[in-house]
Amino acid sequence: MKLGAQPITLRQLQYVVAVAEARNFRRAAQLCHVSQPSLSAQLAQLEEALGVRLFERGRSGVLPTSAGAELIERARKLVLDADDLVESARRLGDPFTGTIRIGVIPTISPYLLPHAAPALRARYPRLTVAWTEEKTDSLVRLLGAGEIDAALLALEADIGEVESAAIARDPFVLATPHGHPLAVSCEPAALRELRDACVLLLDDGHCFREQALEVCSAARTEEAAFRATSLSTLAQMVASGAGITLLPELAVETEQRRAAIDTRPLGAPQPHRTVALVWRPRSSLRAALRQLAATIRDAYPGGAAVSRPDPRARKPPRRRA
């Protein structure tokens, strides 16, 4: 390993990342709390040291050059690693002080957080959890950019290279209006029973939509023209007689209090999702996040938490949801 002086600085790399994200030198300077001439001068020094032009000005703003795109991505990773180093040092005394930022998808947050958030406050009174609710793709982007520390989502979605701790196996159930023919039996519903049924689904961008679509495709159902933005809307539309739907079991108790719906389990192979807490590989918070995952697992409603999950398991890449 070479330990000599390097011709670049971490601050210069931070400027590079800021310009790449802002696509504008003035806004990047504001983000970095420096003057625009100072930022521009530092970037010029960096480009001279590297012998590569990183940005070009165009009609749509500042754009990375073809040669600079790869270097900008490497700079982003170095800045994240440096942030993790500083955070790790800060938390050596007590990792459960300060703030941890956790994202959560909308098909999990209203059903799990009322149980998990109080449990975390009780277990770690000096820790503040800042929750962010977004769809899976947005959370993956925020996690990769270092804007959140972890995320609660479904492992079956395309979430890239992460480390994870499974929280629970969340089966899907059939939801129908009261009195619907599919609600008569208490036995698990076979997919053939759903053939040609009118099924209501979530709007694009929800990973649960893609998972439900796989079931509907196998059952040869018909998708209704209406697309909901939340599971609560789906449940209300089902109660009104607009069709049937699939719900994650996690949501059933809450939605049955709000809407006149019946539910029925689905037969084998029972479709499900795996609720998990995920974080960046090599995150300085990995040990603390595993403990937080264990607390969330203990608070999971209905006692359906996964037994003895491997918190060190990495999520293999999957099809995008």
Q: Which residues contact 263 (CB under 8 A, 6 or more apart)?
A: 173, 174, 175, 176, 247, 252, 256
Q: Is residue 27 part of a domain?
A: yes
pTM metric for this prediction: 0.72
- Residue 140 CA to residue 321 CA, distance in Å, equals 12
120 and 149 Cβ atoms separated by less than 8 Å? no
Q: Is residue 320 part of a domain?
A: no
Question: Both 146 and 175 in a single domain?
Answer: no
Residue for token pair 């938390």? 91
Instruction: Count CA atoms within 13 Å of residue 1 on its CB side.
Output: 1
Both structure tokens of 316? 């293999």
More confident residue, 275 or 1: 275
User: What is the overall mean pLDDT for the chain?
Assistant: 88
- The mean pLDDT of 64-80, rounded to a whole number, is 87
pLDDT tens for 282-308 read 888 899 999 999 999 999 997 655 654
pLDDT tens for 159-206 read 999 999 999 999 999 999 998 999 888 899 998 999 999 999 999 989
Residue for token pair 């001279």? 48
Q: Is residue 4 part of a domain?
A: no
Q: Is residue 1 part of a domain?
A: no
**How many domains are there within the chain?**
3
Q: Which domain holds residue 107?
A: 98-168+274-315
pLDDT tens for 230-260 read 999 999 999 999 999 999 999 999 999 999 9
Quote the pLDDT of residue 245: 95
Q: Is residue 235 part of a domain?
A: yes
Instruction: Count CA atoms within 13 Å of residue 2 on its CB side.
Output: 4
Determine what percent of the chain is predicted with pLDDT higher than 70. Answer: 91
Inform me whether the pLDDT recorded for 93 exceeds 70. no
Q: Is residue 38 part of a domain?
A: yes
Q: Is residue 3 part of a domain?
A: no
Both structure tokens of 37? 């001439």
Residue for token pair 């962010």? 132
Q: Where residue 103 sits, what CATH number does that domain have?
A: 3.40.190.10
